[in-house]
Amino acid sequence: MSVEKPVVSLADLCSRYEGLLVPDERQGFEGYLISPDHLISFCRSLRDDVGYDYLSSVTGVDNFPAEQMEVVYHFYRTTGGPSFNLKLQVSRHNPVVPSLVPLYPGADFQEREAWDLLGIRFEGHPDLRRIMMWEGFEGFPLRKDWREPFFEDEAKPFKSRWPDGQVIRSEDQNPYKNNVRYPNDFDPEQWTPVGDDALYKGMLNLSQNIQSEFKTDQIVVNLGPQHPSTHGVFRMVVVLEGETVLSLKPVMGYLHRNHEKIGERNTFLQNMPFTDRLDYISSMSNNFGYALAVEKLMGIRPPERAEYIRVMMAELTRFLNHIFSIGFLLNDLGAFFTPALYAIEERELILDVFEAVSGSRMMCNYFRFGGVARDLPDGVLEKIKELVNDRLPRKLEEFERYLTKNDLVRIRCEGVGVLSPEEAIALSAAGPILRASGVPYDVRRADPYSIYDRFDFDVAYGLHGDIYDRYLVRVEEMRQSLRILKQVVRDIPEGPIMSGKPQYQARVPPGEAYGRVEGPKGELGFYVVSNGKPNPWRYHVRAPSFINLTSLATMAKNQKIADVVAILGSIDIVLGEVDR
Amino acid sequence: MNGWGIIQGLGVTLKHFLKTYLEDIRKGKGRYFTEEGVRERSASSVTGVFTVQYPEEKLILPEEFRYLPFLVYDELPDQERKIRCTSCGICAKVCPPQCIWIKRAIDPDTGRPKPTPAEFYIDVDICMNCGFCAEYCPFDAIKMDHDYEIASFDRKAEHVYSMEKLLKSASYYEEIRPKNFAREEAARLEKEAKTS
């Protein structure tokens, strides 16, 4: 996060690697291709000399039927600016690439995910296990030649629906036990999870060499998957010495539905309501990110009024998400539901706005490529004005009076779960987590999208990187959201809300695009590859709460077991987005 | 750390607690089980009790509220129904979870397809309430309903809606979505005036 000029400019570095670094010249693609042998040395220079210190996204693309697998990296500078895209092409038969975890520890879960779903082996990864699917699962589901047991067709719309549709229910076609495919010699009754024992043993070994004055036993405890404090089905395996956490590993995937495979079967437009189900607390933001990515590919921009409506909805979403997450953080601290319900009151009023505008409280499905679904109905703008100018600031102040100086909150939160700025950047933390650690990085400011460059607002950041700072950053962000909203409701122009005619089949030219927004939970990115057909060839979600979990182990180390619950609450995860 | 923060916080909860009673006394009986009462409790000026006692009370739905799709028919004289759907299949194609099944009618004399559906099914357990079908229907033939109470004992028998269950009259549509209806009628009349 140094602000000094980089030692080497990007052009210099690229010329130093001339011949080894080839520009990606396919139409609609950008960035560079590099061979696996030079990846590590190039990335070291990229990070240390040029200042691309933030690895935002790692993912793979299966170029079936070509015998080729592609790994795509998106690097950013935490001082702001556009991305640097790097790609590796390896054989699809045995894709092996060097792991970037030693350089960018934030690649940990993302590489595991690419291994799990695409079968790309990352050499040198310290813990390359499946992350979403269970150990023993056969095949790599995101590969194009992998078919689900209830497979109907490569892409929607399915032919059976029209013109001679006879209703079929998938559960009749694939009755219970036929809807999953097991390896040949697999008996679910006899099977015991093999991965778990190894995981426990490995974790105990890791922490064995700690010297203690007293002879104590270390024990492994599973927090979850069914545990009220995990905000869903999420498991933390912790090694305890007394009450102190020696090491922690998150285990997720219990809610996995292969969102990306579904997305690749869907048409571009059909993905819009599915993005609502990622982070179901803040569906408007998810719509925003996906719409941006596809609009980049299509080369269109929404009209003025639609831009204002989009920003308005995104900021209302940020407010409701933060107030909700603070309410539930207090739940985790033991203030059972009183603060949470006060937060829900305000959230409810914002949801009323969403319902009036989009028709649904949580699954909004409101954004379209090139605009929004419908204009604000009568009276909604007045209601938003009432909320923004009167109710929400008043309630936010009351909320602060209630909690900010509360001694119990401070004792539980100050100095707990500390993440240093260097760690936060290295671990690819995003959103309030990154900013609370003292890195004032906000996509709205660092790489402005939509019309955020027009509004006056400050980027909230903390100095200590503890739970209390994350709380304060969220409170300040709500205040800044209200500040943006006040400008929006003042300036919103009249006019059309869609550019072009609404079309149920978006025509998307071939190419790739990475659209990212500053969602309430952090940087939410959508990596979309089109090959000119009605369905996306690759659809990848850079889920902020999934990647923020990479830093959970660092935050929880040497903390008390009771505080781990609070630390997890302060990361603010939604399992719909973590597991996808 | 002298506990002043806690006392202040307790003050906030005490205020909340007292307000529920004060507001009830101030507003009197009309606050509950009346439409104005519900409206008041969902306005942004609300203080005191916030909740609505379902099912005795129900939230007032905004016009754009969407739940399940239904098919619109126009009422002709002598109880005849004119189904607006032409079985073009756009709704079935745009549906993200693919829960719409349409069978196109065939003219028995010529053997050619007729612009009307023979059968129309929606599996409401699969429907994700996104509203695309209503949004992209070029004939205003499928719309989103406001009726959200669809619980039943037999999912298989009752949750695949057939055309009979899906068809609702245009006057019902006007009742739940007056503004949309008026806008569409105006556009239709204009178009008819142009073509004639």
If asked whether residues B102 and B155 sit together in one domain, one would say: yes
If asked whether residues B19 and B114 sit together in one domain, one would say: no
Q: Where are the beta strands (DSSP E) in A185-243?
A: 218-223, 226-227, 232-233, 235-241
Q: Across the interface, which of A165, A378, A387 has its CB nearest the CB of B121?
A: A165
Please list, in sequence order, all residues whose beta carbon lies within 8 angstroms of the beta carbon of residue B44, skipping any fewer than 6 positions away.
A349, A383, A386, A387, A390, A391
Please list, in sequence order, all residues whose beta carbon lies within 8 angstroms of the beta carbon of residue A162, skipping any fewer than 6 positions away.
B87, B89, B92, B93, B100, B101, B102, B104
For residue A355, give the chain B residue with the closest CA: B65
How far apart CA A184 and CA A131 sit, in angstroms, is 22
If asked whether residues B44 and B133 sit together in one domain, one would say: no
Identify the segments of chain A with pLDDT beneath 50.
Answer: 1-2
Tell whether A154 lies on the interface with B, counting CB pairs under 8 A. Answer: no
Q: Please state whether the peptide bond connecting residue A225 to the residue before it is cis, i.e. omega within 30 degrees of 0.
A: yes
- Minimum distance, in Å, between the CA of residue B107 and any CA atom of chain A: 14
If asked whether residues B101 and B174 sit together in one domain, one would say: yes
- Minimum distance, in Å, between the CA of residue A284 and any CA atom of chain B: 14
Q: Across the interface, which of B66, B113, B121 has its CB nearest the CB of A167?
A: B121
- Residue at B76 is within a domain: yes
pLDDT at A317: 93
Q: Where are the beta strands (DSSP E) in A68-196?
A: 68-76, 84-91, 96-98, 121-123
φ/ψ region of B121 (left if φ > 0, alpha if ψ in -120 to 50, else beta) reads beta
If asked whether residues B26 and B112 sit together in one domain, one would say: no
pLDDT at B3: 82
Q: With the C-alpha atoms ordered A328, A330, A336, A340, is the resulting torsion angle positive or negative?
A: negative
Tell whether A336 lies on the interface with B, counting CB pairs under 8 A. Answer: no
- Strand-pair category, A244-251 with A235-241: antiparallel
Q: With the C-alpha atoms ordered A501, A504, A508, A514, is the resulting torsion angle positive or negative?
A: positive
- Minimum distance, in Å, between the CA of residue B78 and any CA atom of chain A: 31
Q: With the C-alpha atoms ordered A42, A47, A50, A55, is the resulting torsion angle positive or negative?
A: positive
pLDDT digits (tens, 9 = 90+) for A558-571: 888 889 989 998 98
Please list, in sequence order, all residues whose beta carbon lies within 8 angstroms of the beta carbon of residue A571, skipping any fewer than 6 positions away.
A433, A545, A548, A549, A551, A552, A555
The answer to whether the CB atoms of A502 and B136 lie below 8 A apart is yes
For residue B115, give the chain A residue with the closest CA: A163
How far apart CA A127 and CA A99 sit, in angstroms, is 11
- As given in the structure block, the two tokens for residue B46 are 């609300």
Number of H helices, E strands in chain A: 21, 17
Q: Which residues of B touch A358 (CB under 8 A)?
A: 64
Residues 338-377 of A with CB under 8 A from B: 338, 342, 345, 348-349, 352, 355-360, 363, 365, 373-374, 377
If asked whether residues B97 and B163 sit together in one domain, one would say: yes
Q: Which of B12, B19, B44, B119 to mutate to test the interface with A (most CBs of A within 10 A)?
A: B44
Q: Please state whether the peptide bond connecting residue B55 to the residue before it is cis, i.e. omega within 30 degrees of 0.
A: yes
Q: Please state whether the peptide bond connecting residue A95 to the residue before it is cis, i.e. omega within 30 degrees of 0.
A: no
Tell whether A386 lies on the interface with B, counting CB pairs under 8 A. Answer: yes
How far apart CA A236 and CA A227 sit, in angstroms, is 10
Q: Which of B13, B17, B64, B180 to mutate to test the interface with A (most CBs of A within 10 A)?
A: B64
- Tokens 């973590």 label which residue? A578
Residue among A272, A274, A276, A227 at smallest CA distance from A254: A227
Four-CA torsion A227, A228, A230, A234, nearest 10 degrees: 40
Residue A542: φ, ψ to 5° = -90, 95
φ/ψ region of A532 (left if φ > 0, alpha if ψ in -120 to 50, else beta) reads left
How far apart CA A487 and CA A508 sit, in angstroms, is 34
* A134, A183 Cβ separation under 8 angstroms: no
Q: Across the interface, which of A163, A272, A411 has its CB nearest the CB of B102?
A: A163
If asked whether residues B84 and B42 sit together in one domain, one would say: no
Q: Which residues of A touch B128 (CB under 8 A)?
A: 273, 363
Angle at A130 between CA A127 and CA A132, to 5 degrees: 130
Domain that holds residue B24: 1-59
pLDDT digits (tens, 9 = 90+) for A392-435: 999 899 888 888 888 888 888 888 989 999 999 999 999 999 99
Cα A122 from chain centroid?
21
Which of residues B20, B38, B59 is at a domain's end?
Answer: B59
* A365, A290 Cβ separation under 8 angstroms: no
pLDDT at A187: 74
- Residue at B64 is within a domain: no
- Strand-pair category, A68-76 with A84-91: antiparallel
The ipTM estimated for the assembled molecules is 0.90
Q: Where are the beta strands (DSSP E) in A458-559?
A: 511-519, 522-530, 538-542
If asked whether residues B35 and B91 sit together in one domain, one would say: no
The answer to whether the CB atoms of B102 and A162 lie below 8 A apart is yes
* A256, A132 Cβ separation under 8 angstroms: yes
pLDDT at A471: 92
Q: How many domains does chain B have?
A: 2
Please list, in sequence order, all residues whose beta carbon lies within 8 angstroms of the beta carbon of residue A439, skipping any fewer than 6 positions away.
A1, A78, A421, A424, A425, A461
Tell whether A1 lies on the interface with B, counting CB pairs under 8 A. Answer: no
Q: What is the pLDDT along chain B (196 residues), one digit of tens a residue?
A: 578 888 888 888 999 899 889 888 888 888 888 888 888 888 888 888 888 888 888 888 899 899 999 999 988 888 888 888 888 889 988 999 888 988 888 888 888 888 888 888 888 888 999 999 999 998 889 999 998 888 888 887 888 888 888 888 888 999 999 998 898 888 888 888 888 7
- Minimum distance, in Å, between the CA of residue B40 and any CA atom of chain A: 12
Tell whether A164 lies on the interface with B, counting CB pairs under 8 A. Answer: yes
- Minimum distance, in Å, between the CA of residue A11 and any CA atom of chain B: 44
Q: Please tell me the number of Cα atoms within 13 Å of A174 on its side-chain side.
A: 11
- Residue at B131 is within a domain: yes
CA distances from A444 to A312, A358, A448 (A): 14, 24, 5
* A283, A318 Cβ separation under 8 angstroms: no
- Residue at B92 is within a domain: yes
Which of residues B33, B59, B85 is at a domain's end?
Answer: B59
Quote the longest CA-to-CA distance of chain A: 77
CB pairs < 8 Å spanning A and B: 151
If asked whether residues B90 and B142 sit together in one domain, one would say: yes
The answer to whether the CB atoms of A164 and B135 lie below 8 A apart is no
Number of H helices, E strands in chain B: 8, 7
How far apart CA A275 and CA A289 sit, in angstroms, is 9
Domains for chain A: give ranges and CATH numbers: 10-123 (3.30.460.80), 259-579 (1.10.645.10)
Q: Which residues of B touch A405 (CB under 8 A)?
A: 4-5, 8
CATH assignment at residue B115: 3.30.70.3270
pLDDT at A213: 67
CA distances from A165 to A7, A168, B46, B99, B153 (A): 65, 9, 50, 11, 26
Q: Which of B10, B98, B155 to mutate to test the interface with A (most CBs of A within 10 A)?
A: B98
If asked whether residues B161 and B104 sit together in one domain, one would say: yes
pLDDT at A207: 60
- Minimum distance, in Å, between the CA of residue B33 and any CA atom of chain A: 20
- Residue at B178 is within a domain: yes
SS3 A75: strand
If asked whether residues B81 and B31 sit together in one domain, one would say: no
If asked whether residues B149 and B173 sit together in one domain, one would say: yes
Query: Among the residues of B28-125, which ranges form H helices?
Result: 35-41, 90-94
CA distances from A202 to A112, A205, B108 (A): 17, 5, 72
Q: Please tell me the number of Cα atoms within 13 Å of A222 on its side-chain side.
A: 13
Q: Which residues of B touch A373 (CB under 8 A)?
A: 131, 135
Bridge partner residues of B100 (DSSP): B122
Q: Where are the beta strands (DSSP E) in A424-576?
A: 511-519, 522-530, 538-542
